[in-house]
Amino acid sequence: MSISCEFDYAKPDTLRDALGLLARHAPHGAVPLAGGTDLVAWLRDGAVSPGFLVDIKELAELRGIRRKAGHLWLGANTTFAEIMASPLVRRHAPILAEAAGMVASVGVRNRATIGGNICSAVPCCDSGPALLVYDAVIHVATLGGARRIPIRKWFLNPRQTALTQGALVTGISLPVAKHAGAFAKLKRYRGEDLAQASVAVRVDARGDWRVAYGSVAPTPIRGPKVERLLRGDLKPSSARRKEAAAVAETEVAPITDIRGSQIYRRLMVGVMLRRAVHLAAARRAGRGPAYGTNILEEDAP
Amino acid sequence: MSAKRVIGTAAVRVDGMAKVTGAAQYVDDMEFGPGLLHAVLVESPHAHALIRKIDTAAAEKAPGVVRVVTGKDIPYMFGLYMQDRNIFARDRVRFVGEQVAAVVAETPGAALRAAKLVKVTYAPLPAVLSLDEALKENAVLIHPDLGNYLRVPWFFPRPGTNIAHWRKTRKGDVEKGFRQADYILEDTYTVPRYAHCPIETHAVTGLFDLSGRLTLWASSQSPYAQRGVMAVALKPFGLSHRDIRIVTPYVGGGFGGKAGVSMEIIGAVLAIVMKGRPVKLNWTREQEFMNTSQRQGVIARIKMGVKKNGQIVALEHTLHWDAGASAEYGANVVNAVGLSATGPYRIPNVKIDSVCVYTNMPPCGAYRGFGYSEFHFGLESHMTRIAQAIGMDPVQFRKRNAIREGDTLAYGAHMNPGNLRGAIDRVAKEIRWGKKDKSAKPGKAVGKAVACFWKAPAMPPNAASAAYLKFNEDGSLNLCVSGMEIGQGFLTVMAQVAAEVLTVPVEKIRVETPDTDRNSYEWQTVGSHVTWGCGNAVRAAAEEVKARLLATVARAKFLKVEDLYLADECVKSRKDRKFALPFRSFVIDGIMRSNGNFIGGPIHGTGMFMPEFTSALGDPETSQGGHPNVHYTVGAAGIVLEVDKETGKMTVRKAVLAVDVGQAINPELVKGQIVGGLVQGLATALFEDIRYDANGRLLNPNFTDYKIPTTLDCPAEIIPIILETPQPDGPFGARGVGEHTMVACAPMVADAIDNAIGIRLKTMPLTAEKVALALRGIDYDSVKGDTLGFCFRGKPCDYRFEVGGH
């Protein structure tokens, strides 16, 4: 494999140094490099041509999974494999752990980071819908100080986020609360694939439902209409689930491309929503299959 | 005398240890020292355009660049069966991705950067991206010089059109046949293009040394065919066969894509230009998709007439193939189908028109199955539908019409042995045909299907194999053949053939990948023919060695040859049970007589094989009179498929395949072919979905969007069944098996979908999306957008199959 674009490379030891390098080399198009699973492929394709790569892989400030002050904190450099394996994530953010298990392949999951995933911000990003239903907060560092950006204000457009030039995501925090949920991903086969469409649902002890979709709009989006429809219903009936599915189909705006037609994506959002709501309700009641099953490939609940 | 048989046993693969330990070398692993140069291509962004100007000045000045080569430097054409392919585009480009220039530099990065500096000025021409456009009167011509191209005598191109070849087969009287029919079904089926997706992309390193010797190390299925094609195309450089040497180390998958010549000839000319320094050219994955060869897309109209009793009385099969910008190999696929598109059935009245059409998409060529998978999709779907229409069980219907030994084929020759009806029975039993299975899961339905297949190698009548076998001092042997080990186990099977004759353990026979300077001739490793063809040559070589062993011992020991035999690596005597002369004691050094002189010497043998009974000279209007195929291998496959009625997602619960291989020389390797072929065939049915945009640009030349199965996508259970009705002219009764195992996959999935949920899909692939939409009454073609799977738009049922002026 050859990369035709020429760039300089540095691997700073501290967050401060990394921010300094990004600022200093901003005129040369400095970009951070974490897992590299997107960036290196884009470099190879000639889709990007940065003049400077700041390798942030080993920054201690960006590592670790911790519980603190009612929140679960994930360092930006946490890989999807680490998310899948973390008892803390599995306990406090099982929908994210379920989504992590459906990201690409084993090799990519060992390398790709959650910070990179939300910064690449492609419409099919698997972590997006899960973070949306958790009302996650993105922690950002700049030379001027730290900022916090709610996930709902994070995704602006395909490959465009609220992150400003020269800033770095340091981590993501999720409020800890008792809940259940499910993540469903429509793929072209069982192997690694980008989502043709995805759905995340979360329900808490009061029957407060949160719903989010991936690959069916320019960014991952929340599903407010379905959330309103289901509010307070801890055990949505089959009729209610069907109704919710029909509403879900109306609140997404997929496109037709080679990965799937608009109509198919829309219809499958309905099927996934219905199955995911059923599964989430079952899991909340202590039933249903363990987290980590793709309800589109396994048996329908 | 009944020595331990090696034939029919699961001998351990001779290449297994090297491959699992990583010791096996592939072209890109080979070291060529610090003088190695690297080449990167400049490719056409247009499907069809005139080249006005190529400005290489900036690229030539770029750091590390040693040379930029264009079609002006190398104005030559090449091709296996027809010389219609340019080494570099000259006056015009004919597909997106065609090579226009090459930059040779000291490093791959320098070549890549400089390639972006080559400025090519194009004048776009109207691109031919649909078959009806290509075939209409006064169509834009893709090859205005078609009439002047060198070609084999069995191709019938039509100069002044885009028709590269038209194979017509006529038997009996179809009109009369249809009049006799009680029921006639006519419909249209489409199969898009497919890509081979070998794990190893094409790679070549060439060295034109200072003595004027050209050596190529290439990832190829066809070292001798490559040498032959290059000797013709490179004649202007003063090269002939003796000056060209092709070395082919292990190959990481061929599937037909590494048959003949594609990018290797670029490596050859760059080496010639850079005399004295080796030049390396490796294809990227994108180039592997766009500029080697693809499987041709096809639209096929089938009209079949049957009697109430289930007898097929007439078949009219018309196929229009999207061959792409070159048909140098693809026209032979079209030819093979034109001869065999009856499928494995006895049909008295047949009319086949198989038309090879140039288009402005990437060139197509050989792909495992060589057209048979494509036509079986329509034909086998049609068989099931017509059986249903006359109220006959589709399995009984197939058995009723199954071809038998001695039957007259569509082109007049006679069918070889093969137990098709036995295969159908075994498969039907294995999937419990006739018993409707219910899914234990809500929302899912189970469907079953049985489909038949046949296939013959498509070979020139003089496609030959040769073998050289020589003993070493320790009683081991070197077997020098030029078939390619492309994963199928060729080396092991050849060792088994020699081992059987010579009573030597397989592991004492060293068989390695070819070097055309050292190894005997082989036409190509294609068409599932090498076990049969090269196996016959190896057997002949081993018989010659055996005769020399016996003669040497007889002469040295004053014995009679007819009293001697081989067993346990010794020459033994029927007259004296204690007599046993180990091979290692005399095969090089001879046998000492009492007075100290030696009798014998190094023992070696050669063998050759050519199917002398074949002929490609059938009548162009009917195909009668020739004997184009050596033999057909027949069989049947079955499937148990579970379909999710909401999502359309399909799970293969069980796949079964029975094939009559004559004699399984190594049953484990035959099973490997069955498993591999089923997985590959099911992938073409379920997942692989090639897409071009409206300008002829390939949109998914990658595994992000062109899906080949992972282990998670393989059938839950695969049952391989081997039948053995000997092939009289095969080594120990063997006939070809390889490609066959994927041929029935697509129609059996289509039939199983119909069986499960009552939906008949007639356009491949048969994706979950298509099924889900069909379940809701939505026609996929009307919602998929304006991307193309091959040069066809619109609804298949509207296609007229018209050819302008004909």
pLDDT digit string, tens, across residues B164-181: 999 999 999 999 999 999
**A298 domain-assigned:** no
**B174 domain-assigned:** yes
**B21 domain-assigned:** no
- Which residue from B minimizes the CA distance to A272? B647
The domain spanning residue B594 has which CATH number?
A: 3.30.365.10
Model confidence band, residue B656 (pLDDT cutoffs 50, 70, 90): very high
- Which residue from A minimizes the CA distance to B108? A2
- Which residue from B minimizes the CA distance to A186? B647
For chain B, positions 667-686, list CB contacts with chain A under 8 A. Answer: 686
Residues above pLDDT 90, as percent of chain B = 98
Which residues from A are below 8 Å from B649, CB to CB? 296-297
Domain boundary, last residue among B258, B282, B306: B282
Instruction: Give the pLDDT confidence score for residue B1 in this predicted structure.
Output: 43
**B8 domain-assigned:** no
Most B CBs within 10 A among A188, A238, A266, A295, hence the mutation to make, goes to: A188
- Residues A164, A206, single domain; the answer is no
Catalytic residue among B430, B500, B688, B739: B739
Model confidence band, residue B804 (pLDDT cutoffs 50, 70, 90): confident
Instruction: State whether B780 and A297 contact (CB < 8 Å).
Output: no
Which residues from B are below 8 Å from A4, CB to CB? 109, 112-113, 116
Instruction: Give the pLDDT confidence score for residue B441 in this predicted structure.
Output: 86
Residue spans of alpha helices (H) in B295-444: 330-340, 372-389, 394-401, 420-430
The first and second tokens of residue B4, run together, are 């331990």
Model confidence band, residue A1 (pLDDT cutoffs 50, 70, 90): low
Instruction: State whether A296 and B785 contact (CB < 8 Å).
Output: no
Instruction: State whether B705 and A258 contact (CB < 8 Å).
Output: yes
- Residues B552, B518, single domain; the answer is yes
Has residue B585 got a pLDDT over 50? yes
CB B50, CB B125: distance < 8 Å: yes
- Residues B743, B763, single domain; the answer is yes
Separation in Å, CA of A299 to nearest CA in chain B: 7
Instruction: State whether B710 and A267 contact (CB < 8 Å).
Output: no
Separation of alpha carbons A15 and B269, rounded Å: 53
Separation in Å, CA of B421 to nearest CA in chain A: 35
- Residues B702, B623, single domain; the answer is yes
* Residue B782: C-alpha distances to residues A96, B246, B795 (Å): 37, 49, 9
B443/A contact by beta carbon, under 8 A: yes
Most B CBs within 10 A among A196, A258, A271, A299, hence the mutation to make, goes to: A258
The domain spanning residue A166 has which CATH number?
A: 3.30.465.10
Q: What is the pLDDT of residues B210-260, one digit of tens each?
A: 999 999 999 999 999 999 999 999 999 999 999 999 999 999 999 999 999
**A293 domain-assigned:** no
Rg (CA), chain B: 27
Instruction: State whether B767 and A188 contact (CB < 8 Å).
Output: yes
Question: Alpha-carbon torsion B395, B400, B405, B406, what sign?
Answer: negative
Instruction: Give the pLDDT confidence score for residue A2 in this predicted structure.
Output: 78
B510/A contact by beta carbon, under 8 A: no
**A299 domain-assigned:** no
- Residues B648, B558, single domain; the answer is no
Most B CBs within 10 A among A122, A256, A261, hence the mutation to make, goes to: A261
Preceding omega of B765 cis (within 30 degrees of 0): yes
Instruction: Give the pLDDT confidence score for residue B754 in this predicted structure.
Output: 98
Q: Which of A186, A258, A264 shows the shortest C-beta gap to B700?
A: A258
- Which residue from A minimizes the CA distance to B282? A1
Instruction: State whether A258 and B704 contact (CB < 8 Å).
Output: no
Strand segments (E) across B379-505 = 444-455, 465-471, 477-480
**What stretch of H or E contains B59?**
helix B57-61
- Residues B355, B418, single domain; the answer is yes
How many beta-carbon contacts under 8 Å exist across A and B? Answer: 79
B778/A contact by beta carbon, under 8 A: yes
The first and second tokens of residue B324, run together, are 């792409």
CB B680, CB B754: distance < 8 Å: no
Has residue A300 got a pLDDT over 50? no
Question: Alpha-carbon torsion A104, A109, A114, A117, what sign?
Answer: negative
Domain boundary, last residue among B250, B282, B314: B282
- The residue count of chain B comes to 806
Instruction: State whether B783 and A262 contact (CB < 8 Å).
Output: yes
Q: What is the pLDDT of residues B40-74, one digit of tens each?
A: 999 999 999 999 999 999 999 999 999 999 999 99
Instruction: State whether B709 and A189 contact (CB < 8 Å).
Output: yes
- Residues A51, A141, single domain; the answer is no
Question: What value, to the nearest 5°, has the Cα angle with vertex B417 and ends B416 and B422?
Answer: 135
- B316: annotated active-site residue: no
Instruction: State whether B691 and A258 contact (CB < 8 Å).
Output: yes
- Residues B710, B670, single domain; the answer is yes
Q: Which of B443, B712, B713 shows the shortest C-beta gap to A300?
A: B443
Q: What is the pLDDT of residues B672-722, one digit of tens each?
A: 999 999 999 999 999 999 999 999 999 999 999 999 999 999 999 999 999
* Residue B409: C-alpha distances to residues B349, B377, B405, B739 (Å): 11, 20, 10, 21
**A170 domain-assigned:** yes
Which residues from A are below 8 Å from B686, CB to CB? 189
Maximum Cα–Cα distance across chain B: 94
Instruction: State whether A2 and B112 contact (CB < 8 Å).
Output: yes
Model confidence band, residue B4 (pLDDT cutoffs 50, 70, 90): low
Separation of alpha carbons B412 and B624, rounded Å: 6
Separation of alpha carbons A293 and B455, rounded Å: 42
Which residues from A are below 8 Å from B705, CB to CB? 258-259
Separation in Å, CA of A39 to nearest CA in chain B: 15
Segment B520-527 mean pLDDT: 97
- Residues A128, A235, single domain; the answer is no
- Residues B421, B327, single domain; the answer is yes
**B140 domain-assigned:** no
Separation in Å, CA of B108 to nearest CA in chain A: 6
Instruction: State whether B710 and A192 contact (CB < 8 Å).
Output: yes
The domain spanning residue A263 has which CATH number?
A: 3.30.390.50
B713/A contact by beta carbon, under 8 A: yes
Number of independent structural domains in chain B: 3
**A232 domain-assigned:** yes
- Residues B657, B771, single domain; the answer is yes
What is the rounded average pLDDT for all residues in chain B?
A: 97
Instruction: Give the pLDDT confidence score for residue B806 in this predicted structure.
Output: 56
Q: What is the pLDDT of residues A195-210, one digit of tens each?
A: 999 999 999 999 999 9
Instruction: Give the pLDDT confidence score for residue A293 in this predicted structure.
Output: 83
**What stretch of H or E contains B53?**
strand B49-55
Number of independent structural domains in chain A: 3
**A25 domain-assigned:** yes
Which residues from A are below 8 Å from B689, CB to CB? 188, 258
Residue partners of B794: CB distance under 8 A and separation at least 6: none
Residues above pLDDT 90, as percent of chain A = 92
- Residues A71, A159, single domain; the answer is yes
- Residues B170, B206, single domain; the answer is no
B697/A contact by beta carbon, under 8 A: no
Residue A258, domain extent = 180-284
- Which residue from A minimizes the CA distance to B780? A261
If interface means Cβ-Cβ distance under 8 Å, which residues of chain A face chain B? 2-4, 6, 186, 188-194, 256-264, 267-268, 271, 296-297, 299-300
**A218 domain-assigned:** yes
Which residues from A are below 8 Å from B28, CB to CB? none
Instruction: State whether A189 and B686 contact (CB < 8 Å).
Output: yes
Residue B749, domain extent = 165-195+294-459+616-798
Instruction: State whether A189 and B713 contact (CB < 8 Å).
Output: yes
Instruction: State whether A271 and B647 contact (CB < 8 Å).
Output: yes
Q: What is the pLDDT of residues A265-296, one digit of tens each?
A: 999 999 999 999 999 999 999 998 999 988 88
- Decide: pTM greater than 0.80: yes
Could you tell me how far CA B238 lies from the centroid of its own chain? Answer: 32
Domain boundary, last residue among A143, A175, A207: A175
- Residues B489, B543, single domain; the answer is yes
Instruction: State whether B113 and A4 contact (CB < 8 Å).
Output: yes
Q: What is the pLDDT of residues B476-514, one digit of tens each?
A: 999 999 999 999 999 999 999 999 999 999 999 999 999
Has residue A235 got a pLDDT over 90? yes
- Residues B299, B376, single domain; the answer is yes
* Residue B152: C-alpha distances to residues A68, B155, B383, B442, B461 (Å): 78, 6, 34, 58, 11
- Residues A187, A280, single domain; the answer is yes
Instruction: State whether A194 and B647 contact (CB < 8 Å).
Output: no
Backbone φ/ψ region at B276: left (φ over 0), alpha (ψ -120 to 50), beta: left
**B442 domain-assigned:** yes
* Residue A259: C-alpha distances to residues A15, A104, B777, B787 (Å): 39, 15, 21, 11
- Residues A203, A262, single domain; the answer is yes
- Residues A167, A228, single domain; the answer is no
- Residues B436, B373, single domain; the answer is yes
CB B64, CB B103: distance < 8 Å: no
Q: What is the pLDDT of residues B103-127, one digit of tens each?
A: 999 999 999 999 999 999 999 999 9
- Its ipTM equals 0.96
Separation in Å, CA of A261 to nearest CA in chain B: 6
- Residues A50, A69, single domain; the answer is no
Domain boundary, last residue among A175, A203, A237: A175
Considering only CA atoms, which of A233, A253, A257, A256 is closest in space to residue A243?
A: A233
Domain boundary, last residue among B609, B627, B655: B609
Which residues from A are below 8 Å from B112, CB to CB? 2, 4
